[in-house]
């Protein structure tokens, strides 16, 4: 019988043999995984747990919050504040940073998350998820929002948990991408795929086509060429998928390739894009790059962007390398 490797064992072995994970970071990741387990539990109960529907409050981005957005945010904070491994947290659902209260020891890491990604899918029973990113707190006393403003290449761990037909946790600590499936009977995440690789080529794209008339020329050109299929310059047919949960779209791309785009568009020209850099684009970009894919904002590598503010937005093109390179080239040529 092949032995099952739990997330705990995987992390211990990474710490021991590879030296990638200091013990504080290992503890932190285990706590994040535990929080994801509770969120998965709440998601699964759905209407039976009274967790569906709106909360009638707005977040800092001016978006209406769902009950689950708030529940997931609280679960992550409560799970992570007392362990001693964190100095502060930041979330899509909180305007400012959450500093670990004085009654607990302060650690050397910073945790950022989108507690419930794909909120518009909660009430319709479609896959949603949690995205997280871990940074090291810069040296010095105290902790401030400024400490969080680090480029994506400074991340020390990143991942997401997708709540779909299965609950799957996907993680990188800079040594490739590993996937863990939640075994509900055992109550633990079990390693189900290591060394995940995104194929360099793909015939599948993901974009919200209803925004087509608002896009910039390079994006119009790329999608138009895909749509022409075997009759156009690409000489092959493309398929389209759009789940409207970045977590689920990225999970499909990590599994079978594809290109995901949420570009800048003319609806709100002052905003670089819809998605947030620090807790959506950066962690997803690192996972995709660790799996051999690429991630840009159309012009530059996402993980090289120096953030100016916590809730900064960004245009996103990520996935199979050759397609991302093509979209980026179209932008640079324009």
The residues binding Mg ion (CB under 5 A) are 114, 117
Q: Which of ligand AHM, Mg ion, none is residue 93 near (CB under 5 to 8 Å by kind)? A: none
Summary count for the chain: helices (H), strands (E): 8, 17
Q: Checking DSSP bridges between strand 259-262 and strand 316-319, what pairing results, if any? A: antiparallel
Q: Of the two residues 85 and 276, which places its CB atom closer to Mg ion in the complex?
A: 276
DSSP secondary structure letter of residue 17 = I
Least separation, in Å, of the C-beta of 134 and ligand AHM?
A: 19
Least separation, in Å, of the C-beta of 155 and Mg ion?
A: 17
Q: Which of these, 70, 79, 84, lies nearest to 25 by C-alpha position?
A: 84
Binding part of the chain for ligand AHM, among 1-9, 48-56, 101-109, 241-249 by CB under 6 A, reads 241-249
Tell me, residue by residue from 253 to 272, as one string, x for binding to ligand AHM by CB under 6 A and - for no binding: ---------x----------
Whether the Cβ atoms of residue 271 and residue 259 lie closer than 8 Å to each other: no
DSSP secondary structure letter of residue 257 = -
Q: Which contiguous run of DSSP H or E holds residue 38?
A: helix 23-45
Strand order in the sheet with 239-240: 239-240, 204-206, 259-262, 316-319, 294-296
Q: Which of ligand AHM, Mg ion, none is residue 44 near (CB under 5 to 8 Å by kind)? A: none
Task: Kindly tell me which residue out of 138, 244, 307, 325 binds ligand AHM, with binding defined by CB under 6 A.
Answer: 244
- 3-state SS class at 297: coil
Q: Which of these, 183, 205, 202, 171, lies nearest to 37 by C-alpha position?
A: 183
Q: Which of these, 179, 131, 130, lies nearest to 155 by C-alpha position?
A: 131
Binding part of the chain for ligand AHM, among 117-125, 134-142, 284-292, 303-311 by CB under 6 A, reads 117-125
Q: Which of ligand AHM, Mg ion, none is residue 120 near (CB under 5 to 8 Å by kind)? A: ligand AHM
By CB under 6 A, is residue 117 in contact with ligand AHM?
yes
By CB under 6 A, is residue 65 in contact with ligand AHM?
no
Residue nearest ligand AHM by beta-carbon distance: 246
d(CA 217, CA 99): 43
Neighbours of 63 (CB within 10 A): 13
Task: Kindly tell me which residue out of 120, 146, 195, 239 binds ligand AHM, with binding defined by CB under 6 A.
Answer: 120
Residue nearest Mg ion by beta-carbon distance: 117
Q: Of the two residues 100 and 275, which places its CB atom closer to ligand AHM in the complex?
A: 275
By CB under 6 A, is residue 63 in contact with ligand AHM?
yes
Q: Which residues pair with residue 129 across a beta bridge?
A: 117, 162
Least separation, in Å, of the C-beta of 207 and ligand AHM?
A: 9
Task: Kindly tell me which residue out of 14, 40, 119, 150 binds ligand AHM, with binding defined by CB under 6 A.
Answer: 119
Q: Of the two residues 21 and 275, which places its CB atom closer to ligand AHM in the complex?
A: 275
d(CA 156, CA 173): 6
By CB under 6 A, is residue 58 in contact with ligand AHM?
no
Q: Of the two residues 152 and 273, which places its CB atom closer to ligand AHM in the complex?
A: 273
d(CA 246, CA 303): 17
Q: 324 vs 167, 177, 191, 260, 302, CA distance in Å?
A: 28, 19, 29, 9, 12
Tell me, residue by residue from 77 to 96, as one string, x for binding to ligand AHM by CB under 6 A and - for no binding: ---------------x----
Segment 147 to 206, residues that bind ligand AHM, using CB under 6 A: none
Tell me, residue by residue from 196 to 235, as one string, x for binding to ligand AHM by CB under 6 A and - for no binding: ------------x---------------------------
Whether the Cβ atoms of residue 241 and residue 208 lie closer than 8 Å to each other: no
DSSP secondary structure letter of residue 6 = B
Q: Applying CB under 6 A, which residues contact ligand AHM? A: 63, 92, 114, 117-120, 208, 244-246, 262
């Amino acid at each position: 019988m092949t032995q099952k490797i739990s997330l705990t064992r995987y992390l211990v072995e990474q710490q021991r043999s590879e030296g990638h994970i200091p013990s504080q970071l290992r503890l932190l990741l285990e706590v994040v995984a535990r929080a994801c387990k509770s969120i998965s539990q709440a998601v699964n109960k759905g209407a039976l747990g009274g967790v569906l529907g709106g909360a009638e409050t707005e977040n800092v981005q001016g978006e209406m919050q769902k009950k689950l957005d708030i529940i997931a945010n609280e679960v992550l904070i409560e799970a992570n504040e007392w362990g001693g491994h964190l100095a502060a947290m930041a979330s899509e659902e909180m305007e400012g940073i959450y500093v670990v209260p004085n009654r607990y020891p302060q650690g050397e890491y910073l945790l950022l998350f989108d507690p419930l990604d794909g909120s518009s899918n909660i009430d319709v029973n479609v896959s949603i998820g949690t995205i997280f990113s871990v940074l090291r707190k810069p040296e010095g006393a105290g902790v401030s929002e400024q400490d969080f403003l680090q480029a994506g290449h400074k991340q020390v761990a990143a991942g997401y948990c997708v709540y779909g037909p299965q609950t799957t946790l996907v993680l990188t600590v800079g040594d490739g991408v590993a996937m863990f499936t939640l075994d509900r009977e055992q109550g633990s995440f079990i390693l189900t795929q290591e060394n995940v690789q995104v194929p360099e080529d793909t015939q599948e794209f993901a974009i919200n086509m209803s925004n087509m008339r608002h896009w910039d020329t390079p994006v119009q050109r790329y999608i138009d060429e895909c749509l022409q299929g075997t009759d156009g310059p690409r000489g092959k047919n493309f398929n389209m998928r759009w789940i409207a949960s970045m977590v689920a779209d990225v999970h499909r791309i990590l599994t079978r390739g594809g290109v995901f785009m949420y570009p800048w568009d003319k609806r709100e020209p002052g905003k670089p894009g819809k998605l947030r850099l620090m807790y959506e684009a950066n962690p997803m970009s690192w996972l995709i790059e660790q799996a051999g894919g690429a991630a840009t904002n159309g012009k530059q590598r996402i993980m090289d962007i120096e953030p100016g503010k916590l809730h900064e937005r960004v245009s996103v093109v990520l996935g199979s390398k050759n397609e991302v390179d093509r979209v980026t080239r179209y932008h640079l040529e324009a």
